[in-house]
Structure 1
Amino acid sequence: MNASGYLLHVAASPNAEQSTSTALGRLLTEQLAHKMRNVAVVERDIGTHAPPVPSRQFAADNLLPLEQRSDNLESEILIEELEAAKALVISTPMHNFGVPAVLKAWIDQILRPQRTFARSSKGKQGLLEDRPVFIIVTCGGPVTGPYAQQDFLTPYLEYVLPTIGLSNIQVIRLDSMVRTPEHTASQIEQCKAWIAEQVANLCEVA
Protein backbone atom coordinates (compact mmCIF):
# COMPACT_ATOMS: atom_id res chain seq x y z
CA MET A 1 0.00 0.00 0.00
CA ASN A 2 1.28 3.48 -0.80
CA ALA A 3 2.67 5.38 2.15
CA SER A 4 1.18 8.58 0.74
CA GLY A 5 -1.61 9.16 -1.68
CA TYR A 6 -5.35 9.60 -1.86
CA LEU A 7 -8.58 7.75 -2.52
CA LEU A 8 -9.54 7.61 -6.19
CA HIS A 9 -13.23 7.61 -7.10
CA VAL A 10 -13.98 6.75 -10.74
CA ALA A 11 -17.59 7.77 -11.42
CA ALA A 12 -19.05 6.39 -14.64
CA SER A 13 -22.62 7.68 -14.56
CA PRO A 14 -23.67 10.26 -17.17
CA ASN A 15 -26.24 11.68 -14.74
CA ALA A 16 -23.77 13.84 -12.82
CA GLU A 17 -25.32 15.25 -9.63
CA GLN A 18 -28.53 13.27 -10.21
CA SER A 19 -26.71 9.93 -10.15
CA THR A 20 -27.43 7.45 -7.38
CA SER A 21 -24.26 5.46 -8.04
CA THR A 22 -22.08 8.60 -7.94
CA ALA A 23 -23.69 9.79 -4.71
CA LEU A 24 -23.12 6.42 -3.05
CA GLY A 25 -19.55 6.31 -4.36
CA ARG A 26 -18.93 9.71 -2.80
CA LEU A 27 -20.43 8.54 0.49
CA LEU A 28 -18.10 5.55 0.48
CA THR A 29 -14.99 7.59 -0.34
CA GLU A 30 -15.83 10.15 2.36
CA GLN A 31 -16.17 7.46 5.01
CA LEU A 32 -13.06 5.62 3.82
CA ALA A 33 -11.09 8.86 3.83
CA HIS A 34 -12.06 9.48 7.44
CA LYS A 35 -11.11 5.92 8.42
CA MET A 36 -7.79 6.24 6.59
CA ARG A 37 -6.71 9.25 8.65
CA ASN A 38 -8.44 11.88 6.55
CA VAL A 39 -6.65 11.27 3.28
CA ALA A 40 -7.72 13.35 0.29
CA VAL A 41 -10.24 12.19 -2.30
CA VAL A 42 -9.78 12.56 -6.05
CA GLU A 43 -12.87 12.09 -8.22
CA ARG A 44 -12.41 11.15 -11.86
CA ASP A 45 -15.78 11.89 -13.48
CA ILE A 46 -15.61 9.82 -16.63
CA GLY A 47 -19.38 9.88 -16.99
CA THR A 48 -19.35 13.50 -18.14
CA HIS A 49 -15.68 13.75 -19.17
CA ALA A 50 -15.03 10.50 -21.00
CA PRO A 51 -11.51 9.23 -21.68
CA PRO A 52 -10.64 8.87 -25.36
CA VAL A 53 -11.22 5.53 -27.02
CA PRO A 54 -8.03 3.84 -28.26
CA SER A 55 -6.79 5.28 -31.54
CA ARG A 56 -4.93 3.44 -34.28
CA GLN A 57 -1.66 4.90 -32.96
CA PHE A 58 -2.50 3.87 -29.39
CA ALA A 59 -3.13 0.28 -30.50
CA ALA A 60 0.09 0.20 -32.51
CA ASP A 61 2.10 1.63 -29.60
CA ASN A 62 0.94 -1.18 -27.32
CA LEU A 63 2.87 -3.60 -29.53
CA LEU A 64 6.12 -1.65 -29.13
CA PRO A 65 8.66 -1.52 -26.28
CA LEU A 66 7.93 1.30 -23.82
CA GLU A 67 10.85 3.42 -24.98
CA GLN A 68 9.63 3.35 -28.59
CA ARG A 69 6.05 4.42 -27.93
CA SER A 70 4.54 7.77 -28.78
CA ASP A 71 3.75 10.07 -25.89
CA ASN A 72 0.23 9.38 -24.70
CA LEU A 73 -0.40 11.94 -22.03
CA GLU A 74 -4.00 10.97 -21.27
CA SER A 75 -3.16 7.31 -20.70
CA GLU A 76 -0.17 8.12 -18.53
CA ILE A 77 -2.16 10.60 -16.43
CA LEU A 78 -4.83 7.97 -15.73
CA ILE A 79 -2.26 5.27 -14.91
CA GLU A 80 -0.25 7.52 -12.59
CA GLU A 81 -3.47 8.66 -10.92
CA LEU A 82 -4.34 5.03 -10.22
CA GLU A 83 -0.80 4.17 -9.08
CA ALA A 84 -0.89 6.95 -6.48
CA ALA A 85 -4.24 5.89 -5.02
CA LYS A 86 -4.40 4.08 -1.68
CA ALA A 87 -7.75 2.62 -2.67
CA LEU A 88 -10.04 2.71 -5.68
CA VAL A 89 -13.81 3.24 -5.70
CA ILE A 90 -15.70 2.62 -8.94
CA SER A 91 -19.33 3.70 -9.07
CA THR A 92 -21.12 2.75 -12.25
CA PRO A 93 -24.49 2.01 -13.75
CA MET A 94 -25.01 -1.14 -15.79
CA HIS A 95 -25.68 -0.29 -19.43
CA ASN A 96 -27.37 -2.91 -21.60
CA PHE A 97 -26.24 -5.76 -19.32
CA GLY A 98 -22.60 -4.64 -19.39
CA VAL A 99 -19.90 -2.03 -18.97
CA PRO A 100 -20.71 1.59 -19.86
CA ALA A 101 -18.68 2.79 -22.85
CA VAL A 102 -16.93 5.45 -20.77
CA LEU A 103 -15.76 2.89 -18.19
CA LYS A 104 -14.51 0.59 -20.96
CA ALA A 105 -12.58 3.54 -22.41
CA TRP A 106 -10.97 4.18 -19.00
CA ILE A 107 -10.02 0.52 -18.71
CA ASP A 108 -8.56 0.53 -22.22
CA GLN A 109 -6.39 3.52 -21.27
CA ILE A 110 -5.00 1.92 -18.09
CA LEU A 111 -4.49 -1.68 -19.31
CA ARG A 112 -1.24 -1.37 -21.21
CA PRO A 113 1.33 -4.10 -21.85
CA GLN A 114 4.70 -3.54 -20.15
CA ARG A 115 3.21 -0.60 -18.26
CA THR A 116 0.47 -2.07 -16.04
CA PHE A 117 0.80 -5.73 -16.95
CA ALA A 118 3.51 -7.99 -18.31
CA ARG A 119 3.13 -10.86 -20.70
CA SER A 120 4.63 -14.16 -19.58
CA SER A 121 4.48 -17.88 -20.29
CA LYS A 122 1.86 -18.06 -17.51
CA GLY A 123 -0.29 -15.32 -18.99
CA LYS A 124 -0.64 -11.68 -18.04
CA GLN A 125 1.00 -10.60 -14.77
CA GLY A 126 -0.17 -7.41 -13.05
CA LEU A 127 2.49 -4.74 -12.45
CA LEU A 128 0.54 -2.51 -10.06
CA GLU A 129 0.65 -2.90 -6.29
CA ASP A 130 -2.60 -4.35 -4.98
CA ARG A 131 -4.92 -2.11 -2.98
CA PRO A 132 -8.57 -2.20 -1.91
CA VAL A 133 -11.07 -1.80 -4.74
CA PHE A 134 -14.75 -1.10 -4.02
CA ILE A 135 -17.32 -1.29 -6.80
CA ILE A 136 -20.89 0.03 -6.58
CA VAL A 137 -23.12 -1.05 -9.49
CA THR A 138 -26.64 0.26 -10.06
CA CYS A 139 -28.89 -1.89 -12.24
CA GLY A 140 -32.14 -0.69 -13.77
CA GLY A 141 -33.50 -4.20 -14.18
CA PRO A 142 -33.36 -7.32 -12.01
CA VAL A 143 -30.07 -9.20 -11.72
CA THR A 144 -31.29 -11.57 -9.01
CA GLY A 145 -34.42 -13.69 -8.64
CA PRO A 146 -36.47 -15.69 -11.14
CA TYR A 147 -36.47 -12.94 -13.80
CA ALA A 148 -32.80 -12.03 -13.47
CA GLN A 149 -31.05 -10.56 -16.47
CA GLN A 150 -27.48 -11.44 -17.36
CA ASP A 151 -24.80 -9.36 -15.66
CA PHE A 152 -21.71 -9.06 -17.86
CA LEU A 153 -20.39 -6.02 -15.99
CA THR A 154 -19.44 -7.48 -12.61
CA PRO A 155 -17.61 -10.60 -13.89
CA TYR A 156 -15.74 -8.44 -16.39
CA LEU A 157 -14.45 -6.04 -13.74
CA GLU A 158 -13.57 -8.92 -11.41
CA TYR A 159 -11.50 -10.44 -14.22
CA VAL A 160 -9.91 -7.39 -15.81
CA LEU A 161 -8.73 -5.54 -12.69
CA PRO A 162 -6.58 -8.44 -11.40
CA THR A 163 -4.88 -8.38 -14.81
CA ILE A 164 -3.07 -5.24 -13.66
CA GLY A 165 -2.63 -6.45 -10.07
CA LEU A 166 -5.83 -5.26 -8.36
CA SER A 167 -7.41 -8.36 -6.87
CA ASN A 168 -8.68 -7.12 -3.48
CA ILE A 169 -12.18 -6.38 -4.82
CA GLN A 170 -15.50 -5.87 -3.03
CA VAL A 171 -18.70 -5.41 -5.08
CA ILE A 172 -22.31 -4.52 -4.38
CA ARG A 173 -25.09 -4.44 -6.97
CA LEU A 174 -28.27 -2.43 -6.48
CA ASP A 175 -31.06 -4.35 -8.14
CA SER A 176 -34.08 -3.06 -10.15
CA MET A 177 -33.46 0.61 -9.42
CA VAL A 178 -36.32 1.76 -11.67
CA ARG A 179 -38.98 -0.47 -10.10
CA THR A 180 -40.64 1.68 -7.41
CA PRO A 181 -39.46 4.53 -5.16
CA GLU A 182 -39.87 2.24 -2.15
CA HIS A 183 -37.71 -0.49 -3.71
CA THR A 184 -35.08 2.04 -4.74
CA ALA A 185 -34.95 3.44 -1.21
CA SER A 186 -34.56 -0.09 0.16
CA GLN A 187 -31.64 -0.80 -2.16
CA ILE A 188 -29.95 2.45 -1.18
CA GLU A 189 -30.28 1.58 2.51
CA GLN A 190 -28.74 -1.84 1.83
CA CYS A 191 -25.86 -0.13 0.08
CA LYS A 192 -25.33 2.23 3.01
CA ALA A 193 -25.16 -0.78 5.34
CA TRP A 194 -22.63 -2.40 2.98
CA ILE A 195 -20.58 0.81 2.97
CA ALA A 196 -20.51 0.84 6.77
CA GLU A 197 -19.36 -2.79 6.75
CA GLN A 198 -16.57 -2.12 4.24
CA VAL A 199 -15.32 0.87 6.21
CA ALA A 200 -15.39 -1.10 9.46
CA ASN A 201 -13.44 -3.96 7.90
CA LEU A 202 -10.79 -1.72 6.36
CA CYS A 203 -7.50 -1.67 8.24
CA GLU A 204 -6.18 1.86 8.71
CA VAL A 205 -3.14 2.65 6.61
CA ALA A 206 -0.41 5.20 7.12
Structure 2
Amino acid sequence: MTRALLLSFSPHGKSAQNFQLARNLLSDCLPDAQVSERDYGSQALPPLTCEYACALTGADDGSEDATALSEQLIVELEACDLLVICTPVHNFTVPAALKGWIDHVVRIHRSFTVNERFEKIGLLDDRRTFVLVSSGNARKGHEPDFLTPYLSAILSIVGIRSVEFAYLGAMVRGEEAVSQAVAQAHRQLSEAISSGL
Protein backbone atom coordinates (compact mmCIF):
# COMPACT_ATOMS: atom_id res chain seq x y z
CA MET A 1 0.00 0.00 0.00
CA THR A 2 1.24 3.47 -0.92
CA ARG A 3 1.71 5.79 2.05
CA ALA A 4 1.31 9.37 0.89
CA LEU A 5 2.14 12.52 2.82
CA LEU A 6 0.16 15.49 1.48
CA LEU A 7 1.35 18.90 2.68
CA SER A 8 -0.30 22.30 2.11
CA PHE A 9 1.68 25.50 2.53
CA SER A 10 -0.94 27.87 1.15
CA PRO A 11 -2.67 30.47 3.36
CA HIS A 12 -5.87 28.93 1.96
CA GLY A 13 -4.93 25.62 3.59
CA LYS A 14 -6.88 22.61 2.39
CA SER A 15 -9.17 24.75 0.24
CA ALA A 16 -6.25 25.78 -2.02
CA GLN A 17 -6.65 24.77 -5.67
CA ASN A 18 -3.43 22.78 -5.75
CA PHE A 19 -4.35 20.91 -2.57
CA GLN A 20 -7.76 19.99 -4.00
CA LEU A 21 -6.03 18.86 -7.19
CA ALA A 22 -3.63 16.69 -5.19
CA ARG A 23 -6.50 15.10 -3.27
CA ASN A 24 -8.33 14.31 -6.51
CA LEU A 25 -5.19 12.87 -8.09
CA LEU A 26 -4.54 10.56 -5.17
CA SER A 27 -8.17 9.47 -5.14
CA ASP A 28 -8.19 8.84 -8.91
CA CYS A 29 -4.75 7.29 -9.37
CA LEU A 30 -4.08 5.67 -5.98
CA PRO A 31 -7.49 4.96 -4.44
CA ASP A 32 -6.03 2.50 -1.92
CA ALA A 33 -3.30 4.83 -0.70
CA GLN A 34 -3.01 5.68 2.97
CA VAL A 35 -2.90 9.49 2.96
CA SER A 36 -1.76 11.75 5.81
CA GLU A 37 -2.76 15.39 5.31
CA ARG A 38 -1.09 18.36 6.95
CA ASP A 39 -2.02 22.04 6.65
CA TYR A 40 0.99 24.19 7.50
CA GLY A 41 -0.15 27.16 5.44
CA SER A 42 -3.00 28.31 7.66
CA GLN A 43 -1.44 26.75 10.79
CA ALA A 44 2.25 27.51 10.42
CA LEU A 45 4.94 25.61 12.26
CA PRO A 46 6.81 27.55 14.96
CA PRO A 47 10.18 29.00 13.93
CA LEU A 48 13.43 27.49 15.13
CA THR A 49 14.50 28.55 18.60
CA CYS A 50 17.77 29.31 20.36
CA GLU A 51 17.36 25.99 22.21
CA TYR A 52 17.14 24.17 18.87
CA ALA A 53 20.30 25.86 17.60
CA CYS A 54 22.14 24.98 20.82
CA ALA A 55 20.95 21.37 20.57
CA LEU A 56 22.50 21.08 17.12
CA THR A 57 25.85 22.37 18.36
CA GLY A 58 25.83 20.21 21.49
CA ALA A 59 25.57 23.20 23.81
CA ASP A 60 22.23 22.17 25.31
CA ASP A 61 21.58 19.13 27.50
CA GLY A 62 17.85 19.29 26.70
CA SER A 63 18.44 18.52 23.03
CA GLU A 64 15.64 15.95 22.78
CA ASP A 65 13.03 18.48 23.88
CA ALA A 66 14.45 21.17 21.62
CA THR A 67 14.38 18.93 18.56
CA ALA A 68 11.14 17.06 19.35
CA LEU A 69 9.07 18.77 16.65
CA SER A 70 11.87 18.38 14.11
CA GLU A 71 12.07 14.68 14.94
CA GLN A 72 8.30 14.27 14.59
CA LEU A 73 8.33 15.86 11.12
CA ILE A 74 11.32 13.81 9.94
CA VAL A 75 9.78 10.54 11.18
CA GLU A 76 6.56 11.41 9.35
CA LEU A 77 8.53 12.08 6.18
CA GLU A 78 10.47 8.82 6.55
CA ALA A 79 7.19 6.90 6.88
CA CYS A 80 5.86 7.96 3.47
CA ASP A 81 6.82 6.61 0.07
CA LEU A 82 5.02 9.38 -1.82
CA LEU A 83 5.42 13.04 -0.88
CA VAL A 84 3.12 15.72 -2.30
CA ILE A 85 3.94 19.36 -1.59
CA CYS A 86 1.30 21.96 -2.44
CA THR A 87 2.71 25.47 -2.32
CA PRO A 88 2.15 28.92 -3.70
CA VAL A 89 5.06 30.95 -5.00
CA HIS A 90 5.63 34.09 -2.92
CA ASN A 91 7.94 36.78 -4.27
CA PHE A 92 9.57 34.35 -6.72
CA THR A 93 10.34 31.70 -4.08
CA VAL A 94 8.90 29.48 -1.33
CA PRO A 95 6.46 30.94 1.22
CA ALA A 96 7.53 31.32 4.85
CA ALA A 97 5.38 28.35 5.89
CA LEU A 98 7.27 25.98 3.57
CA LYS A 99 10.63 27.44 4.62
CA GLY A 100 9.66 26.71 8.23
CA TRP A 101 8.99 23.05 7.43
CA ILE A 102 12.29 22.82 5.56
CA ASP A 103 14.19 24.31 8.52
CA HIS A 104 12.79 21.64 10.84
CA VAL A 105 13.31 18.73 8.43
CA VAL A 106 16.79 19.55 7.11
CA ARG A 107 18.76 18.73 10.26
CA ILE A 108 22.43 17.86 10.46
CA HIS A 109 23.28 14.35 11.78
CA ARG A 110 19.62 13.37 11.32
CA SER A 111 18.41 13.97 7.77
CA PHE A 112 21.83 14.81 6.33
CA THR A 113 25.49 14.64 7.26
CA VAL A 114 28.71 16.22 6.01
CA ASN A 115 31.66 14.25 4.66
CA GLU A 116 35.37 15.00 4.96
CA ARG A 117 35.15 17.27 1.89
CA PHE A 118 32.35 19.28 3.57
CA GLU A 119 29.78 17.96 1.10
CA LYS A 120 26.27 17.42 2.42
CA ILE A 121 25.06 13.82 2.14
CA GLY A 122 21.39 12.90 2.50
CA LEU A 123 20.44 10.31 5.12
CA LEU A 124 16.84 9.76 4.02
CA ASP A 125 15.72 7.32 1.34
CA ASP A 126 14.63 8.78 -1.99
CA ARG A 127 10.88 8.76 -2.63
CA ARG A 128 8.53 9.91 -5.35
CA THR A 129 7.79 13.58 -4.78
CA PHE A 130 5.39 15.90 -6.57
CA VAL A 131 5.42 19.65 -6.04
CA LEU A 132 2.26 21.50 -7.12
CA VAL A 133 3.08 25.19 -7.45
CA SER A 134 0.31 27.77 -7.76
CA SER A 135 0.63 31.45 -8.62
CA GLY A 136 -1.64 34.37 -9.40
CA ASN A 137 -0.36 34.84 -12.94
CA ALA A 138 1.06 32.58 -15.62
CA ARG A 139 4.61 32.55 -14.30
CA LYS A 140 6.67 29.68 -15.69
CA GLY A 141 9.20 31.14 -18.06
CA HIS A 142 7.92 34.70 -17.69
CA GLU A 143 9.43 35.83 -14.40
CA PRO A 144 12.27 34.79 -12.07
CA ASP A 145 11.84 31.36 -10.52
CA PHE A 146 13.91 30.71 -7.42
CA LEU A 147 11.43 28.19 -5.99
CA THR A 148 12.13 25.31 -8.38
CA PRO A 149 15.94 25.22 -8.13
CA TYR A 150 15.85 25.88 -4.38
CA LEU A 151 13.37 23.09 -3.61
CA SER A 152 15.20 20.68 -5.91
CA ALA A 153 18.48 21.44 -4.15
CA ILE A 154 17.20 21.37 -0.57
CA LEU A 155 15.26 18.11 -1.04
CA SER A 156 18.31 16.48 -2.63
CA ILE A 157 20.39 17.42 0.43
CA VAL A 158 18.29 15.04 2.56
CA GLY A 159 18.29 12.37 -0.18
CA ILE A 160 15.07 13.11 -2.09
CA ARG A 161 15.86 13.38 -5.79
CA SER A 162 12.84 11.92 -7.60
CA VAL A 163 10.99 15.23 -7.78
CA GLU A 164 8.50 16.41 -10.40
CA PHE A 165 7.00 19.91 -10.52
CA ALA A 166 3.61 20.96 -11.87
CA TYR A 167 2.73 24.63 -12.24
CA LEU A 168 -0.73 26.11 -11.85
CA GLY A 169 -0.49 29.67 -13.11
CA ALA A 170 -3.19 32.27 -13.71
CA MET A 171 -5.00 31.50 -10.46
CA VAL A 172 -6.46 35.04 -10.37
CA ARG A 173 -7.39 35.25 -14.05
CA GLY A 174 -10.89 33.85 -13.85
CA GLU A 175 -12.58 30.47 -13.73
CA GLU A 176 -11.68 29.44 -17.27
CA ALA A 177 -7.95 30.07 -16.74
CA VAL A 178 -8.02 28.23 -13.42
CA SER A 179 -9.84 25.25 -14.96
CA GLN A 180 -7.32 25.06 -17.79
CA ALA A 181 -4.35 25.20 -15.40
CA VAL A 182 -5.83 22.52 -13.12
CA ALA A 183 -6.71 20.25 -16.05
CA GLN A 184 -3.22 20.55 -17.52
CA ALA A 185 -1.56 19.79 -14.17
CA HIS A 186 -3.94 16.87 -13.61
CA ARG A 187 -2.95 15.31 -16.95
CA GLN A 188 0.76 15.79 -16.30
CA LEU A 189 0.68 14.30 -12.82
CA SER A 190 -1.72 11.48 -13.67
CA GLU A 191 0.74 10.27 -16.30
CA ALA A 192 3.66 10.61 -13.89
CA ILE A 193 1.90 8.73 -11.09
CA SER A 194 0.71 6.00 -13.44
CA SER A 195 4.20 5.51 -14.87
CA GLY A 196 5.73 5.48 -11.37
CA LEU A 197 8.11 8.29 -12.44
- The answer to whether the superposition gives a TM-score over 0.5 is yes
The correspondence for 2:119, drawn from 112, 118, 123, is 123
Once superposed, which parts of structure 1, at least 4 consecutive aligned residues long, lie more than 6 Å away? 65-68
Aligned residues of 1:94 and 1:153 also touching (Cα < 8 A): yes
Q: CA deviation at 1:141?
A: 2.3
Aligned residues of 1:9 and 1:88 also touching (Cα < 8 A): yes
Aligned residues of 2:9 and 2:87 also touching (Cα < 8 A): yes
Structure 2: distance between partners of 1:156 and 1:199: 23
In structure 2, the residue matched to 1:138 is 134
What TM-score comes out, normalization by structure 2 length?
Answer: 0.90
Structure 2: distance between partners of 1:87 and 1:66: 35
Identity value in percent: 35
Structure 2: distance between partners of 1:39 and 1:66: 40
Structure 1: distance between partners of 2:139 and 2:33: 35
Aligned residues of 1:7 and 1:33 also touching (Cα < 8 A): no
Q: CA deviation at 1:140?
A: 1.1
Taking a change above 3 Å as real, the CA distance of residues 32 and 130 of structure 1, as seen in their structure-2 partners, is farther
Q: Are 1:102 and 2:97 counterparts?
A: yes
RMSD: 2.1
The correspondence for 1:111, drawn from 97, 106, 129, is 106
In structure 2, the residue matched to 1:197 is 191
Q: CA deviation at 1:22?
A: 1.1
The correspondence for 1:28, drawn from 3, 25, 29, is 25
Q: Counterpart of 2:30 in 1: which secondary structure?
A: helix
Number of residue-to-residue matches in the alignment? 195
Q: CA deviation at 1:28?
A: 2.7
The correspondence for 2:180, drawn from 186, 195, 201, is 186
Q: CA deviation at 1:68?
A: 7.3
Q: CA deviation at 1:17?
A: 4.3
What TM-score comes out, normalization by structure 1 length?
Answer: 0.87
Structure 2, gaps ≥5 residues long: none
Q: Counterpart of 2:87 in 1: which secondary structure?
A: strand
Q: CA deviation at 1:27?
A: 1.9
Q: How is 1:38-117 mapped onto 2 (pairs within 5 angstroms)?
A: 38-64=32-58, 69-71=63-65, 72-117=67-112
Structure 1: distance between partners of 2:110 and 2:28: 31
Aligned residues of 2:51 and 2:60 also touching (Cα < 8 A): no
Q: CA deviation at 1:67?
A: 8.6
Q: CA deviation at 1:19?
A: 1.1
